[in-house]
Amino acid sequence: MPRPIHATIHTAALHHNLERVRKSVPDAKVWAVVKANAYGHGIERAYEGLRGADGFAMIDLAEAERVRQLGWRGPILLLEGVFEARDLELCSRLGLWHAVHCDEQIDMLAAHKTQVPHRVFLKMNSGMNRLGFTPQRYRAAWARLNALPQVDEISFMTHFSDADGPRGIAHQMAAFNEATADLPGERTLSNSAATLRHSSDAAVRGDWVRAGIVLYGNAPDHPENTAGHWGLAPTMTLATKLLAVQQLQAGDTVGYGSNFVADGPLTIGVAACGYGDGYPRHCPTGTPVLVNGVRTRLVGRVSMDMVTVDLTPLLQAGMEVGFGSEVTLWGRASNGAVLTIDEVAEPAGTVSWELMCALAQRVPVTVE
């Protein structure tokens, strides 16, 4: 038998979260961002739940091909555009829309032989300082693109650095609006955080929003707000079972490094999940976990194949627990209890995005 660990992708939850995005931006189209293999869910596994989107956006050309192979005939956007000239051939063949963020990409387009003019999204660096033309250089880039026979429609794109936090988006909005005010074409600005927090402004909504993390059921601004606050449902459950139970006495330690010391009698369970499955090794004692759907805590260090959990809350409630009991690392337990990935990511000093993407290859995944 394989180890008891498995992940479940919840199709209905993906659908629900997409509808939640639509409620925030009823007059905008929605890109479902499926980069990093649909945030670790698997593009093919997430497709059914997300096919109600208006388009799919990703980074990798191979992922764009996979979406076409699933039968998707609608818009696909490459968020970083092409990486080398021959990528444009695939864009022509598969009808991929692509970002243009630098002069080299315009050079490649100018040299590209195609019967099908491309739709491009001209990216502005409005303050993030990763990709895009600065506001000062934006208009010249637009004029160059606009003169190319290889280009038919030009849309406008930027990306926010602080849509989830106190700095906000006003400075970037001002830069973007000023440089694009009189240019004709569709606009896309908002990631998940901007879509949920700033979309009362029509200019922020634009024509398309780019929804990533929100589709996968996590709050883009945790811990200020929770997934529950935003009405999001978990789309991935990581669950396993107890392999063993140990009775500790005062002074006994647990696991590598002995960094947890029992201060009195304590019953712990050993669960079949570790950092080799993508569970973060940085999760400290106290990180929440569900056993039989009851909230308890991790104790001791995470190992490659095992974690140890405190069974006190179950024993106090007089519940049966032991070998084979259900352990939910994140997602939804059999009794309906939810533990969000945000709640596990935060004590590990990271974010839900990283945990989902890091789900290990060895974990079997089913779709429901």
Ligand X SMILES: *Cc1c(COP(=O)(O)O)cnc(C)c1O
Q: Which stretch binds ligand X (CB under 6 A): 12-20, 188-196, 235-243, 288-296?
A: 188-196
List beta partners, residue 133: 124
- The answer to whether 159 contacts ligand X (rule: CB under 6 A) is yes
Annotated ligand binding at 58? The verdict is no
List the catalytic residue out of 29, 35, 123, 241. Answer: 35
- The answer to whether 192 contacts ligand X (rule: CB under 6 A) is yes
Buried b (16+ CB within 10 A) or exposed e, 308-343: bbbbeebeeeeeebeeebbbbbbbbbeeeebbbbbb
Q: How far is the CB of 58 from ligand X (least distance, A)?
A: 9
SS3 280: coil
Annotated ligand binding at 130? The verdict is yes
Q: Which of 122, 211, 239, 329 forms a contact with ligand X (CB under 6 A)? A: 211
- The answer to whether 213 contacts ligand X (rule: CB under 6 A) is yes
What is the C-alpha to C-alpha distance for residues 97 and 81, in angstroms, rounded to an integer? 8
Chain positions 33 to 92 lying near ligand X, rule: CB under 6 A, are: 33, 35, 79
The torsion angle over the Cα atoms of residues 141, 142, 148 and 153, rounded to 10 degrees, is 140
Q: Total residues at the site for ligand X (CB under 6 A)? A: 13
Nearer to ligand X, 41 or 241 (CB): 41
Nearer to ligand X, 99 or 242 (CB): 99
Q: Which of 22, 210, 222, 301 forms a contact with ligand X (CB under 6 A)? A: 210
- The answer to whether 296 contacts ligand X (rule: CB under 6 A) is no
What is the C-alpha to C-alpha distance for residues 88 and 97, in angstroms, rounded to an integer? 10
Q: What is the number of the residue whose Cβ is closest to ligand X?
A: 212
241 is catalytic: no
35 is catalytic: yes
Q: Which long-range contacts (CB under 8 A, 24 or more apart) does 168-176 make?
A: 168/198, 169/194, 169/198, 169/204, 171/127, 172/126, 172/127, 172/128, 173/126, 173/201, 173/203, 173/204, 175/124, 175/126, 175/127, 175/135, 176/124, 176/126, 176/135
Annotated binding site for substrate: 130, 304
Q: Which residues are catalytic?
A: 35, 256
- Interface with ligand X (CB under 6 A): 33, 35, 79, 159, 191-193, 210-214, 220
Annotated binding site: 130, 304
